[in-house]
Structure 1
Amino acid sequence: MKSCISTYSFERLYQDGGFTRFDAIDKTKEYGCQGVELVLNDETPDGSTPMEYAKALCAHAKEQGLEVPIYTTGANFFVKEPEKELERLCRHIDIAAECKIPLLRHDVAWGYYEGYTGIKSYKKVIEAVAPFVRQAAEYARERGLKTCSENHGYLLQDSARMLELFAAVDHPNYGFLCDMGNFTVVDEDCATAVSALSDY
């Protein structure tokens, strides 16, 4: 097993501009880890493109002797125009592929969007988002990497709902990134939940 720290773990330190993601990579090395997870979105702190910024971070990680096993970005397919969100996510898949990062984690849904008038059921959410998650997984497969999602966001967080999501997506290139502690937030026993999802 190898240890890895996410650049997101240093999020509070970025606020005043005195600590950067490059510093986070240095700290990760200092702490004795073997890898660093890059968490990036559409904007960069230095005005570079997301592609340029990711490449610079990966180069710095390599200089420090760290692997970059995973790239994470936000995503929300339960929106009025999920096609646009898919296009945006695919741009991040392109970045991960260019940087030769083998795994990309993305969110799925954050809640009911403003103006939503349908039935408020997580099943309706899964029905709406699954085709786009599947398309992202397929696009990533073509680019040589895998996609996954974590159990968080309340709406799709317990193991039963996550299982329904995976059944609906039904793509071999899409998997589960397990946060054991997140199950307790929805009052679920961690051991039971992890066991239920271990195949994914």
Structure 2
Amino acid sequence: MEFGTSSYSFQKLLKAGDIGIEGVFDQIAGSGGTHMELATLTVGPGLEDMMDYDLSGDAETRKRLEAASRESGVTLSGMCIPASFIDEDRAARRAQIDRAKRYVDLCADMGVGFLRTDVVPWSMRPESYAQVEALFPVIVEGCAEVADHAAARGVVASIENHGFLMNGSERCRRLVQAVDSPHFRMTLDIGNFLCVDEDPFVAVNNCLGVASYMHVKDFLVRKHYPGPGWLETLGGRHIVGTVFGFGDVETRAIVRRILQSGYDGYVSLEFEGNEPTLMGCETGLKNVIRIFDEVRAELASEAA
């Protein structure tokens, strides 16, 4: 098992120009991490244009990433891209699928084994179950095409429980099973289930069998609106990110279940709290490593 951080955690500093991507690699190394997951929105032109940004055509940024990885000793473990496979415009949908396949090629060429693609816009909230059912075959078709290409290039593509429409443990497992390929799995985010009001411990337990990559994060959860900056869930609760180990997610119990499952892949911290970024990333990653080590020791003691 290897621990690291998503570049998404540093997006505020990157956007403000207070740190470069090289500094992100160095910060992760300094906090005890061994890998970085690249969220392409942190190196592209900005969130508004991320559906169109294509790192495969950005040779300068690729060279910077590869050089920073070599110099820091921090592996580039995976990539995350926004995408939508549901556009009614056939040409626009084809462009999104083809772009995802180019990222598969980019991962293969750069020695990166994992690619997470969204399949619907993150902010899209389902209008009804009927809408989800109508979209589901279209999503499966796009994911299957990406999975076939990933298989040919030795990459594992994945869906994440991300946003509101393609979230929830049953929905994500159903998609993975419908695509039915060892090269299409799940990036399992332990906190994002709260967006659709599902208990993270139960949901993580449901999905461990289809997980290829792990996101760890923490949230504060409130029943009533606390003020600006909090995200409203589908069920009307409110959540906001915080330092891993500081919030309301049952992080220790979830870590225990992850270890008991035999998962031994990449674990990537996503910090998206209001605390200072460097503090949130450094303290959070150290907490991740510490809690995994402590729980692993507890399990070994119990088995002795």
Normalising by structure 2, we get a TM-score of 0.59
- 1:97 equivalent to 2:108? Answer yes
Residue identity in the other structure for 1:14: L
Mapped pair 1:4 → 2:12:
no
Q: Are the equivalent residues in 2 in contact too, given 1:78–1:110 (CA < 8 A)? A: no
Q: 2:167 aligns with which of 153, 157, 173?
A: 157
Stretches of 4+ moved more than 3 A in 1? 41-45
Asked if the contact 2:35–2:74 (Cα under 8 Å) also holds between the matched residues in 1, the reply is: yes
Partner deviation per Cα, 1:96-136 (whole Å, 9 max, x = no partner): 111011111111112798xxxxx951111211111111111
- 3-state DSSP class of the match of 2:189? coil
Calculate percent identity across the aligned residue pairs: 28
Aligned counterparts of 2:102 and 2:201: Cα–Cα separation in 1: 36
1:127–1:168 CA contact under 8 A, matched in 2: no
Name the Cα RMSD after superposition. Answer: 2.4
- Summarize the alignment of residues 158-177 of structure 1 with structure 2, pairs less than 5 Å apart: 158-177=168-187
Unmatched runs of 5 consecutive residues or more in structure 1: 114-118
Task: Give the deviation of 1:14 after TM superposition.
Answer: 1.7
Higher mean C-alpha deviation, range 158-167 or range 93-102: 158-167
Amino acid at match of 2:103: H
The answer to whether the aligner puts 1:64 opposite 2:72 as a matched pair is yes
Q: How many positions carry a matched residue from both structures?
A: 194
Largest Rg, 1 or 2:
2
Task: Select the structure with the greater relative contact order (CA < 8 A; seq sep ≥ 6).
Answer: 2
How far off is 1:65 after superposition? 0.9
Partner SS for 1:69: strand
Give the structure 2 partner of residue 116 of structure 1: none
Match of 1:15 in 2: 15
Q: CA deviation at 1:175?
A: 0.5
Give me the whole-angstrom Cα distance separating, in 1, the residues matched to 2:138 and 2:123.
12
Q: Distance in 2 between matches of 1:124 and 1:112?
A: 18
Matched, 1:193 2:203: yes
Q: Tell me how far 1:59 sits from its aligned partner.
A: 2.4
Q: One-letter code of the match for 2:108?
A: A
Contact 1:74 1:107 in 2 (8 A): yes
Contact 2:15–2:42 (CA under 8 A) maintained in structure 1 = no
The 8 Å contact of residues 55 and 99 in structure 1, kept in 2 or not, is answered as no
Structure 2 residue aligned with 1:73? 81
What is the CA–CA distance in structure 1 between the aligned matches of 2:73 and 2:195, rounded to whole Å? 35
1:191 to 1:18, Cα distance in 2 relative to 1, 3 A: closer
Q: Does 1:86 align with 2:86?
A: no
